[in-house]
Structures are given as C-alpha cells and as structure tokens.
Structure 1
C-alpha cells in the first residue's frame, strides 16, 4: 500500500481561511487568502503544521491589539 501526501493544504483559523501552503523542495510556502495574514505571504515553513501555528499567532496578536 502506498501513502501519498498532499502538496497543498488550506490553513483555517477559527473558520477563516488564512491561506494555503504548497509543498516545494524546501518545505511549505504560505499564500495568504485574507489581508490579516498578509504578513505570512511567501514565507517558507518546514511543515504545514508550522505554518498553521504561525497563522494562529498572527490571529492571536490581532486580538491582543484590539483590546
């Protein structure tokens, strides 16, 4: 049985599509789908999970600034 891994993942934070990450030779590159996450645009991550953690941090920081 062969296992295949996806080459792209949607990153969602609290039901919001933060962006997608696509696999390349160095890891995963982030593409923002919402202005809030534009600071991550084009950043390289070792894993899709690492990109998700970064998007969660951006979302959390926004909440702290709003208070």
Structure 2
C-alpha cells in the first residue's frame, strides 16, 4: 500500500494525502481545497470523496 496519493476532482488537482501515524493527512494543491488542509482521513478514498463533496458545494468535509 502506498504512503501518498494525488487527489483529483474532475481532472483537476485537489491535493495529496500522505500517510502518517494518525491516518492520511490532506495537503491542498489548489486554494479551492484549502478548507481540507491538514485534515486526517482513514484512507485516500475518503479524502477523495470529501474533495468531491467540497467541489460540489457540500459543506461537510470531515472524515
């Protein structure tokens, strides 16, 4: 299993997640996803879902 993943939404970079002792920490690649900066997710797929929700106007982004 990889320790980091690139998260894209609609072929646009949202950020990366890097595995640490708490889970997968998100680092924004675009100001559009700054609200997720530093959040920890259980896995990369959860971070991707949160980025998609945020991009689609969703307000809940916590894992």
After TM superposition, is the score higher than 0.5? yes
Structure 1: segments with no counterpart, 5+ residues: 63-67
Q: Which residue of 2 aligns with 1:24?
A: 20
Could you tell me which of 37, 45, 55 is aligned with 2:41?
45
Could you tell me which of 54, 57, 60 is aligned with 2:56?
60
Give the alignment's TM-score, normalised by structure 2. 0.88
| Runs of 4+, deviation exceeding 2 Å | none
Structure 2: segments with no counterpart, 5+ residues: 59-63
Q: Select the structure that is richer in helix.
A: 1
